[in-house]
Amino acid sequence: MTTAIHTELDADGILLLTIDVPGQSMNVITPEVQADLAAAIERLKTDDAVKGAVLTSGKASGFMAGADLKGMGALFGSGAALPEGKSKMAALFDGVFSLNRLLRDLETCGKPVAAAVNGLALGGGLEFVLACHYRVIADNPKITLGLPEIMVGLFPGAGGTQRLPRLMGIQPALMYLLQGKNMSPQEALGFGVAQAVVPADQIIETAKAWVKANPNGGVQPWDSKNFKMPGGPATALNPNFAQTFVGGTAMTHVNAGDNMNAPRAILSAVYEGAQVPMDLAIRIESKYFAKVVADPQAGNMIRSLFVSKQAAEKGARRPKDVAPAPTKKVAMLGAGLMGAGIAMVSAQAGIEVVLLDTSIEAAEKGKAYTADRLAKKKTPADKAQAILDRIKPTTDYADLAGCDLVIEAVFETREIKAGVTKQTEAVLGPDVIFGSNTSTLPITGLAEAWSKPENFIGIHFFSPVERMPLVEIIVGKKTGPAAIAKALDYVAQIRKTPIVVNDSRGFYTSRCFGTYVQEGLALLGEGTVPALIENVGKQMGMPVGPLAVNDEVGLDLSYKVAQQTKKDLGDAYKGGPGETVIEKMNELSRFGRKNAKGFYVYPEGGKKYLWPELVQTVAGGLAEDQPSAAEVKERLLYRQLVECARCFAEGVLETPQDGDLGAIFGWGFAPFTGGPFSHMDTVGIANVVATLDRLAQRHGERFAPPQLLRDMAARGDSFYAMAAKQAA
């Protein structure tokens, strides 16, 4: 077996344990790490020549990043063979308890153990550190220490929920546990999570000096008789203790709408565990951890938010045989809201930008956007200047010479887009890759203006560009591999997450997100209480209610897009049930936030509220029979799911990974589900079909499941099983 922890005994009898997992750039907890640590603990217990130990990392990248999330896949499925006579939960408990037990063995080995932390210690990495009796951190404010498991639906399952509260107090510990927040070395020192912060080259000698000076230091505070929980005793008789959990439960409810398993499990583990001795406390923690792991939620979240995201960013969808094509100089056509944002993120990535608009004032204004944002972010002046120096505003196409990528974000009009496309080709020639940021116009049609349509592609950003993490790459009928590779290399340069989809009206994200808004309008048009629609939208994990989001986008824009689509599709156009609502609002010049009146009223300096006359105006009053919250949720959710499934059936999407990433990062689809495709797989395709059939019968064809879903249900198939078969 390979060695993951190197051991070295010095003349003072101090065993230096250096974690250095082979083949990994960053230490993660592997079976080898656990086996080596178990062997080291055994030596500490039995070898009289060993007086104590120092645990450190052999990697310059940091101390340890925690569990190997990719390797944890097996834990989540039911794939692991169950030992004879054990229930699934009991086997799972044994699996997750082993590391917890191991770290408990470390802290009760009877000899002093110090951690010398050279860099980041996250998740299980920090839990290793917390199980040591003395903790020295390198003095570098960039070092992050934390238990961020909650971000992927997990929770710290190696003693973190028990040791952190006993070190820093329950209330502050809950803040870190429930928010996944990191702390700096200085903060750790202040909270008693670290005992010393020293220059990086002195961590080991400081740790060793402590071990040498404290031969009896191998007892954790919570194992001593006089232990007092910081912040007051953990008993129901202490009003602060009770209040902390009342507050924590309320906060969790507000933040996660009671949709996530992990926050509740954390609260329970801390509440119950804090009241009992550590040996029992870690068993309580493992019980809740096993419950969280047994539910598909954590597995779905890890797959989408971690595994698929990383894979996409590393070029999972990039054509393999095209040489790397990083962009050096980008031609940015249009310096409006989107062009200005795209110029900013490009310049920040070190790319030269020629920012072209119809007037120099407009182009300069686009550049000023970057100056403004950098000033707001308090970017140091020299760094900001270097970024600004890379943006050249112009109106002259000749200035585009030398650009190796074009991105177009002019007005959403075919003729104007065709005009700038041709003018650009006249300067750069058709071999340069041309990307359009159109949000609605099919790429295949726009590509006709570029003589080599294989070099034309959609590069669809979201607003505000500098904040939104996703870029949707749209492949037109004639788009070739070189264009896909170039676009993906550019997205990697600006450090965003790409998905790759095929051409279709609204592409993937706008098309599916639109259904959420449309269904909200349909409910409103039927006379449903508007607050019910809005609150259910948020409760199901969407960032905002459907009416609020429509107000943000602009009800006039929704009207224009509907009119344009009607014109384009002619007889094939099927208006949504919410269309009359939008027409009515436009008749009344209620355009949304932009003119301070839409579905909501926006009083100057005050908080927005739902327009009191809304239902009367658009639906003639409240419906007598109001739907239940569950019915509203089902409609808002399944209307999106069926559209996502259609995108897959029609080939707009090629992989469920693209579908899940696009939904979560593009339109904020409930992240705790892992995305719509993970959600459909979890519910079971046959159940999804049954629900859609029922909804279609009641509310119309827009819910009718595509044949693909019926075929999958008949085969007992799932989206990710199909993807795995295809990848194999």
First to last CA, the chain: 29
Could you say which of 6, 133, 460, 679 is catalytic? 460
Residue with tokens 């050279």: 118
CB of 340 to ligand NAD, least distance (A): 8
CB of 157 to ligand NAD, least distance (A): 41
**Residue 434 pairs with which residues in a beta bridge?**
406, 456
* Cβ(92)–Cβ(290) below 8 Å: yes
Which one, 241 or 369, has the nearer CB to ligand NAD?
A: 369
Q: How far apart are CA 447 and CA 515, in angstroms?
A: 27
Q: Residue number with the shortest CB distance to ligand NAD?
A: 336
Sign of CA dihedral 317, 322, 323, 324: negative
- The tokens describing 386, both together, are 């270097």
699 catalytic per annotation: no
| DSSP string of 27-73, one letter each residue | --B-HHHHHHHHHHHHHHHH-TT--EEEEEES-TT-SB--B-TGGGH
Which one, 162 or 424, has the nearer CB to ligand NAD?
A: 424
* Cβ(4)–Cβ(22) below 8 Å: yes
Task: Provide the 3-class DSSP secondary structure of residue 475.
Answer: strand
Instruction: Name the residue among 592, 584, 518 with its Cα closest to residue 555.
Output: 592
Which one, 154 or 549, has the nearer CB to ligand NAD?
A: 549
CB of 557 to ligand NAD, least distance (A): 9
Which one, 114 or 562, has the nearer CB to ligand NAD?
A: 562
Q: What contacts 284, CB < 8 A, 6 or more positions away?
A: 269, 272, 273, 276
- The tokens describing 692, both together, are 């859609």
* Cβ(159)–Cβ(127) below 8 Å: yes
- The one-character DSSP state at 74 is H
CB of 658 to ligand NAD, least distance (A): 18
Q: How far apart are CA 348 and CA 465, in angstroms?
A: 12
In the complex, which residues of this chain contact ligand NAD (CB under 6 A)?
Answer: 333-339, 356-358, 362, 409-412, 416, 419-420, 437-439, 461, 463
Strand-by-strand arrangement of the 121-122 sheet: 121-122, 145-146, 182-183
Instruction: Name the residue among 69, 74, 76, 71 with its Cα closest to residue 294.
Output: 76
CB of 413 to ligand NAD, least distance (A): 8
CB of 592 to ligand NAD, least distance (A): 13
Which one, 208 or 460, has the nearer CB to ligand NAD?
A: 460
Q: How far apart are CA 160 and CA 149, in angstroms?
A: 10
Which one, 311 or 416, has the nearer CB to ligand NAD?
A: 416
Which one, 149 or 472, has the nearer CB to ligand NAD?
A: 472
Radius of gyration from C-alpha coordinates of the chain? 29
Which residues carry out catalysis? 460
